Amino acid sequence: MKISDIEYRTLQEVREMPRFDLKSMPKRAKWYLQVVAWLLSIPETFLRRVKIVKVNMEKVKGPYILLCNHNSFFDFKVATRAFFPRRANYIVAVDGFINREQLMRNVGCLGKRKFVSDPAIVKQLKHSLEVNKSIAVIYPEARYSLIGTTAILPDSLGKLIKMFKYPVVSLISHGHHLHEPVWNLIKRKVPVKSVMTYLFSKEDLESLSLQEINEKIKEAFYYNDYEYQVNNNIKIKGDNRAKNLHKVLYKCPHCLTDYSMKSENNKLFCEKCHHEYHVDEYSRLNEKDGQTIFNFIPDWFEWQREEVRKEIENNKYDSTIEVHIDSLPNSTGYYRLGVGKLTHNENGFLLEATLQGEKFEVYKPVLSNYGVHVEFDYFGKGDCLSFSTNDDTYYLYPLDQNLSVTKYHFAVEELYKLTNKKSTLSE
């Protein structure tokens, strides 16, 4: 089955399908497949003139944990070159295994469901480091950055790496979002740079507190592709700089209307109040009549976050929409169950449907998800968001595609932060 196919199955048929194996130990990459991986990755990084700067890496001996930021598929190719000729085990989302599970496992990948706590990961990472003697590659942001800036990192990350007491290295890439933004997959010619830094030794992990470890990781993970572009005088030429930008900049800062923004070629405009912004070769925004509110794309993006936060704090955030429900039980592909109702508010997510006469329900409380995965025009099927249980992942496509799934990105994170803060204060 092609990923782009919409294949209907009954709820009972999906329930009877085998589940994706989340517990098997990662394999040491087969040598011949490792050679193929190098041939597929390294030449492209040279053609793209990737610059990799290594900081204190000569001090790293043996297996280590590699923490990478995540902006596009190109991240994997750069990582492969960065630790060449070493082998690695990668944590990859289940959707990355569709129609190629055996191949993915043989090149050293282990599958996980996004934003779901999984105790098996501890044993699997330990196996990778101690048995396979491989680099354990983790993308802690767990999804592509929507705007080329740091996504939220889990507080559990520090605890995880402190537990293993293996060296920890970061690989932070700059320019990958500009090269291929998740909302516009037309590749652009952008010079990119990656910095590979030895963050923690075994002795560091033993002596530092969890808070100190997490703070240093967050400091290492700071990146902003639009700052990188301006600071390095990188021009992006062509006629599609703004194409689909409205999918992440969905709220008009002039009339304050949600989902009124549209985009085409190099302009972003509001269909309600008709303010129009031009995106120049440095990705700067300029309103055509000189009424520019945001000159910098990440500033507009983060302003929307604050607007969502205000809605939550004022008890005005409450979303209920109809969605197509796709199930991902294993690596064979997505199966459409039907149409349901998705509610999101201060209680979390509630997905409800009546399928073949049977009531179907999935509840995800706020503290069960610190983030949510969103996709834009996912394999031609539309924009969607997804969340997982321990044995399934649900991809949810709003029937009204004028809605922006980016707003859920903000709402999930802000609800989690506010609820977690209240929970901590009450203890």
* DSSP assignment string, 281-296: TTSBEEETTS--S-SB
**With contact defined as beta carbons under 8 Å apart, do 387 and 373 qualify?**
yes
Q: What is the tens place of the pLDDT at every residue in 72-98?
A: 889 999 999 999 999 999 999 999 999
pLDDT band at 425, cuts 50/70/90?
low
Burial class (CB in 10 A: 0-12, 13-18, 19+), 342: buried
Cβ neighbour number for residue 387 with a 10 Å cutoff = 26
Residues 6+ apart with CB under 8 A from 160: 121, 122, 125
pLDDT for 362: 98
Output the pLDDT for position 124.
96
* Average predicted confidence (pLDDT) for the chain: 95
- The CATH number for 21-231, chosen from 3.30.413.10, 3.90.650.10, 3.40.1130.10, 3.40.47.10, is 3.40.1130.10
Around 180, how many Cα atoms within 13 Å sit in the side-chain half-sphere?
A: 12
pLDDT tens, 185-211? 888 999 999 999 999 999 999 999 999
Among 11-15, 77-81, 280-284, which stretch is predicted with the lowest mean pLDDT?
77-81
Flag whether pLDDT at 71 surpasses 80.
yes
Percent of the chain with pLDDT over 70: 99
DSSP codes joined into one string, 206-233: HHS-HHHHHHHHHHHT--BHHHHHHHTT
pLDDT (tens digit, 9 = 90+) per residue, 132-178? 999 999 999 989 999 999 998 988 999 999 999 899 999 999 999 99
3-state secondary structure of 374: strand
Closest CA to 104 of 113, 96, 116, 112: 96
Joined tokens for residue 394: 């649900």
341-347 mean pLDDT:
98
Please name which of 121, 203, 209 lies closest in space to residue 158, comparing C-alpha atoms.
Answer: 209
- Give 232-276 pLDDT, tens digit per residue: 999 999 889 999 999 999 999 999 999 999 999 999 999 999 999
pLDDT class for 427, splitting at 50, 70, 90? low
User: What's the pLDDT at 43?
Assistant: 87
Q: Which residues contact 59 (CB under 8 A, 6 or more apart)?
A: 198, 201
Burial of 12 (0-12, 13-18, 19+ CB in 10 A): exposed
Q: Is 257 exposed, middle or buried (0-12, 13-18, 19+ CB in 10 A)?
A: middle
Q: What is the mean pLDDT of residues 29-57?
A: 88
User: What is the end-to-end Cα distance of the chain in Å, rounded?
Assistant: 50
Question: 211-229 pLDDT, tens per residue?
Answer: 999 999 999 999 999 999 9
Q: State how far the Cα of 166 lies from the Cα of 360, in Å rounded to an integer.
A: 44
- pLDDT at 317 exceeding the cut of 80: yes
- pLDDT exceeds cutoff 90 at 119: no
Please give the average per-residue pLDDT across 297-311, as a whole number: 98
Give the model confidence (pLDDT) of 347-389 as tens digits. Answer: 999 999 999 999 999 999 999 999 999 999 999 999 999 999 9
In this prediction, residue 117 has a pLDDT band, given cuts at 50, 70 and 90, of: confident
pLDDT tier at 324 (50, 70, 90 boundaries)?
Answer: very high
SS3 state of residue 202:
helix
The answer to whether residues 361 and 340 touch, using CB atoms and an 8 Å cutoff, is: no
The domain at 319-426 falls in which architecture?
Roll (2.30)
Q: Are the beta carbons of 238 and 230 closer than 8 angstroms?
A: no
CA 202/CA 304 separation, integer angstroms: 41
Residue 377: name the closest of 256, 247, 255, 225 by CA: 247
What is the predicted pLDDT for the residue at 47?
A: 82
Domain boundaries, the chain: 21-231, 245-313, 319-426
| Stretch (H or E) spanning 90 | strand 88-93
Residue 258: how many CB atoms within 10 A of its CB? 16
More confident position, 117 or 253: 253
Which residues make beta-bridge pairs with 198? Answer: 169
Q: Residue 10 in contact with residue 356, Cβ under 8 Å?
A: yes
- What is the chain's percent helix, strand, coil content, to nearest 5? 35, 25, 40
Residues 56-80: what's their mean pLDDT? 93
Q: Is the pLDDT of residue 426 over 60?
A: yes
> Do 21-231 and 319-426 share a fold?
no
> Does the pLDDT value for residue 48 go beyond 90?
no
Cβ atoms of 246 and 263 closer than 8 Å:
yes
